[in-house]
Structure 1
Amino acid sequence: MPGILALFAYRQDTGAVLSELSEVLLRGPSPLSRGERELIGAYVSGLNGTRFCANAHGAFAAAQLEGGESVVRSVLDQPTGAPVTARLRALLRIAAEVREEAGPVSAQALAAARAEGADDREIHDTVLIAAAFCMFNRYVDGLATDLPQDPGYYTEAAKVIVAHGYAMPQKPAEEALHA
């Protein structure tokens, strides 16, 4: 199994907790859409150079955002010119700061996000998603997980995540992906 799925299968006790965290962060109640939250995760993963997470969550975001893959590619390649709202662009700046340094988000980034209409909950959720993805990225890369051989893997995985979420399946993850 590629990426984090192998790690979740190896340690199902921690995998279940991390899956639940993903479910809450990326699909639970939030003023940010599921697609926006997935995009933040993909963006942080791209900045960290974690190809599995950037590709997987990029596909999950693309499946849930208007503009799909072209919007995701734009954000990953050049967020300042990407066709997203100014609010989301400002939140991506906050996510980048969280990823860059363990310290307070700059007053400038907070002011810019608030000026574009982001509220405290959106800022909170952005910081938490960015911080969690830094952990997930280090987990995936630290244990040198495999990348999928089939480029269509991410599209198929997106169908499963969009339909069923992050709860760990009762059957092996690879079987759930091909069900």
Structure 2
Amino acid sequence: MSNRSRPENIASNLEFLKKKKGLPPVHNWNPPFCGDIDMRISRDGRWHYNGSPIGRESMVKLFASVLRHDDDGHYYLVTPVEKVRIQVDDAPFVAISAEVRDGENGPEYVFSTNVGDEVVLDKEHPLVIKKYKDTGESVPYIRVRDRLNALVNRNVFYQLVEDASAVDVEGGVELTISSQGREYSLGVVEGD
């Protein structure tokens, strides 16, 4: 890793972002790869540098704004002048709350993440349940932007289950929620 790929140098390369609204166009930037950086996002959504948690929320939000998940399956922090690879244990974000609001197409779920993103559950931001082969655990995720997902916090998932409609299906009962006129499955509860 080059000396300029330290987190504070990445942040200084992004100083211009503080004046702009919205997220930077990281998908349009194609800087050279500058190596790996000892930065990791743990499964609970905490960001770490050199094994220590990053305590400054503003720094975490800045890094999250330039995070990209490329076709090679790796996660990168991308600025106009450099691209560094980081480690992500599961999903880069965690959905920490969800509320139902009135939308144009009826009720809609709005999820908030640990880095301040708000995302409406819709066809561009679907809810996906993945089942891990090694544990058999079903884990919910919502697409936040581009190829970046948020792990749905257990408490939020329980809230969704409470709100869900139950439909009899072969082998049990499927739980679904509706957002913007579309149905999203929370999974099937197996019957006796």
TM-score category (smaller protein): under 0.3
Higher relative contact order (CA 8 A, sep 6+): 1
Give the structure with the higher percent helix. 1
Give the structure with the higher percent strand. 2
Bigger Rg, structure 1 or 2: 2
TM-score by length of 2: 0.20
TM-score by length of 1: 0.21
